[in-house]
Amino acid sequence: MPIGCVIVRDGEIVGEGANEVATQTDPTAHAEIVAIRRACASVGVDLRGATLYSTLQPCGMCSMASIWSHVSRIVYGAERHQVHSMYFEDRHLETMDFIRDAFRDDMSFTGGVLPEDTVALYYKPGDDVPPEEQGNL
Ligand SMILES: [Zn+2]
């Protein structure tokens, strides 16, 4: 899936990743997880002060990984309602549902940046997606 992520702290990219689920045969290898792993390998497991940028709204797993890695800010392009439901694992939970209930109160997120560029990367709501490309069936 065409999802990309970079993690920036103090003006420098400390981790980056793309979706590697198929190439790594690892269902947890979402772009954000790949980037978080690389950032933590580079600068340690506390990413406080870092911003995670993703082309697509992070799923629940990646939202929780952002919380556990202490990312300070999440910025993403395409929003959940702008893309096909196959990109998400849950019918109703949103990124903000996880962040709102987290113990941390120093985390923020901004969604819907560069909407034309990022939405164009994904199947739209209602698109007829081949079953072999659907991730959440
Ligand atoms: Zn994810």
Q: What would the two tokens of residue 58 be?
A: 């992070």
CA-to-CA distance for 72 and 37, rounded, in angstroms? 16
Considering the entire predicted model, what is its pTM?
Answer: 0.91
Enzyme catalytic residues = 32
pLDDT tens-digit series, residues 45-83: 999 999 999 999 999 999 999 999 999 999 999 999 999
CA–centroid distance, residue 65 to ligand 1 (Å)? 9
Ion ligand 1 residue ranges (Cβ < 5 Å):
30, 59, 61-62
CA–centroid distance, residue 55 to ligand 1 (Å)? 11
In the 8-state DSSP scheme, what is residue 58?
A: -
Predicted confidence at residue 93, as pLDDT, reads 80
Q: Which long-range contacts (CB under 8 A, 24 or more apart) does 129-135 make?
A: 129/84, 129/86, 133/86, 134/86, 135/1, 135/21, 135/86, 135/87
Predicted confidence at residue 103, as pLDDT, reads 85
CA–centroid distance, residue 110 to ligand 1 (Å)? 16
Q: Which residue has the tokens 């970079």?
A: 6
The ranges of the chain with pLDDT < 50 are none
CA–centroid distance, residue 50 to ligand 1 (Å)? 18
Predicted confidence at residue 57, as pLDDT, reads 94
Predicted confidence at residue 49, as pLDDT, reads 97
Predicted confidence at residue 101, as pLDDT, reads 83
Q: Residue 128 class from Cβ within 10 Å (0-12 exposed, 13-18 middle, 19+ buried)?
A: exposed
